[in-house]
Amino acid sequence: MPAFVGTLNDVQIANVLTYLRSAWGNNARPITANGFCALREIPHN
């Protein structure tokens, strides 16, 4: 699988995540670019 680092900016990633969360009749709230940046800062185990 190719690397996607640097392909999409934070706004574009937030838009894709918002689409996925709201697709197929789900009622999830939109994800903002600032919200995505906050998630990016969380250390992963």
Q: b/e string for 27-43 if b means 16 or more Cβ within 10 A?
A: eeeebeeeebeeeeeee
* Contact in structure between 16 and 8 (CB atoms under 8 Å): yes
pTM of the model: 0.68
Q: What percent of the chain lies above the pLDDT cut of 70? A: 82
pLDDT in tens, 24-41: 888 888 888 888 888 777
Domain residues for 21? Answer: 10-34
Rg (C-alpha) for the chain, rounded Å, is 12
What is the tally of structural domains in the chain? 1
Q: Is 45 a residue whose pLDDT tops 70?
A: no
Q: Is the pLDDT of residue 1 over 60?
A: no
Q: What is the mean pLDDT of residues 1-18?
A: 80
- Please indicate, yes or no, if residue 1 is contained in any of the structural domains: no
Mark residue 5 as left, alpha or beta (left: phi above 0; alpha: psi -120 to 50; beta: remaining). beta
**Residue 22 falls within a domain, yes or no?**
yes
> Distance (Å, rounded) from C-alpha 37 to C-alpha 4?
17
Question: 44: pLDDT confidence band, cut at 50, 70 and 90?
Answer: low
Residue 14 resides in a domain: yes
